[in-house]
Amino acid sequence: MRDWVAWHELYDDPSSVLSGRLRLVQAQLEDALDHAPAGPIRLLSLCAGQGRDVTGVLPTHPRRDDVSAVLIEANAENAETARRNAAAAGAPAGRGAGGGREPAQRLRRRTASRIARRAGTTRRQRG
């Protein structure tokens, strides 16, 4: 079984492939936020790992107050690191955009298969 916590340490090496991948993902997220229509933005990150893509963009993005983000991660240690990253990035404790509530980043410790079951789909149904 892979050590997902150790795997994420490669993001700390600016010359690693993962570090370059993170920069590309963050650029895509910035672009998506830049071009989103006015109003609330809902962001769902499945297999979020330590949340570096989201927490590396939202704190300084002009649309940050429009974003309600939910990060899904199955690994308990990575989920806790994502929570710390979100708190360090200044994620508010609100329940999400809309209805006068404060935008927030929330983290759920779940597996993608559990999310698919709740959505009424399974791997077989998706083909």
Summarised one tens digit per residue, pLDDT across range 55-92 is: 999 999 999 999 988 888 889 899 889 888 888 887 75
Summarised one tens digit per residue, pLDDT across range 103-113 is: 445 556 655 55
Closest to 113 measured CA to CA, from 97, 126, 95 = 126
Has residue 123 got a pLDDT over 90?
Answer: no
C-alpha–C-alpha distance, residues 15 and 10, integer Å: 9
C-alpha–C-alpha distance, residues 69 and 39, integer Å: 14
In this predicted structure, what is the pLDDT of residue 116? 52
Task: Provide the pLDDT confidence category of residue 1 given band limits of 50, 70 and 90.
Answer: confident
Closest to 67 measured CA to CA, from 104, 21, 110 = 104
Residue with tokens 């492939």: 17
C-alpha–C-alpha distance, residues 43 and 57, integer Å: 12
End-to-end CA distance of the chain: 26
Residue with tokens 């806790």: 80
Enumerate the domain spans of the chain. 4-126
Record: fold of 4-126: Rossmann fold (3.40.50)
Residue 94 φ then ψ, to 5°: -70, 180
